[in-house]
Amino acid sequence: MLIGLDPRTTPELLYTLARMGHGDEIVIADRNYPAQWSAAGCLVKDVINYPGHDATVVADLITRLMPLDTFHSHSVLRMEIDNQPDTMSDVHQAVWDVLTPRLPEGGILSSIERQAFYRRAGGSFAVVQCSEDRPFGCFILRKGVIF
């Protein structure tokens, strides 16, 4: 047992976050995302499952424990809606609302085209799949440093 952790934090997620280093990326995938396919190219080959939880819950759990990066072009990427790269859906805004207060100074929230998201996610550290049912509810979070 550990004190101070949200009880929804699984051992798999905790171990994965502890193993990640600066600049490593973790994917939050919605329920329609091909998580097994992406995870095959990741360091952690097994998908970390969060059934019954949406993307906002998973983003909250991760960023309570993991700092977001400021040394690269982005701290977080959201999957763009096809042919509407500037449109923020309800799920995008909900996750942004969770992450914005946790961004370090200089942190950037950005977006990436869907097919490019798939390619990038396939080389990430791990994939966390949740039960998010809102379309395009997928994100990539880049781990920062603690000063």
In the prediction, which pLDDT does 105 show?
85
In the prediction, which pLDDT does 133 show?
97
3 state DSSP class of 25? strand
Q: What is the pTM of this model?
A: 0.95
Is 111 among the domain residues? yes
8 Å CB contact between 125 and 28: no
Is 7 among the domain residues? no
Task: Find the range with the poorest average confidence among 9-23, 42-56, 96-110, 128-142.
Answer: 96-110
Is 38 among the domain residues? yes
Q: Tokens representing 142?
A: 């880049």
Domain that holds residue 108: 21-142
> Active-site residue numbers?
22, 69, 118
Is 15 among the domain residues? no
Residue 129: give its domain's CATH number: 3.40.1650.10
Is 116 among the domain residues? yes
Is 93 among the domain residues? yes
Question: Average model confidence (pLDDT) for the chain?
Answer: 95
In the prediction, which pLDDT does 122 show?
96
Q: Tokens representing 57?
A: 């819950």
In the prediction, which pLDDT does 1 show?
73
Question: Structural domain tally of the chain?
Answer: 1
Q: Helix 11-19 vs helix 55-65: angle between axes, to the nearest 10 degrees?
A: 50
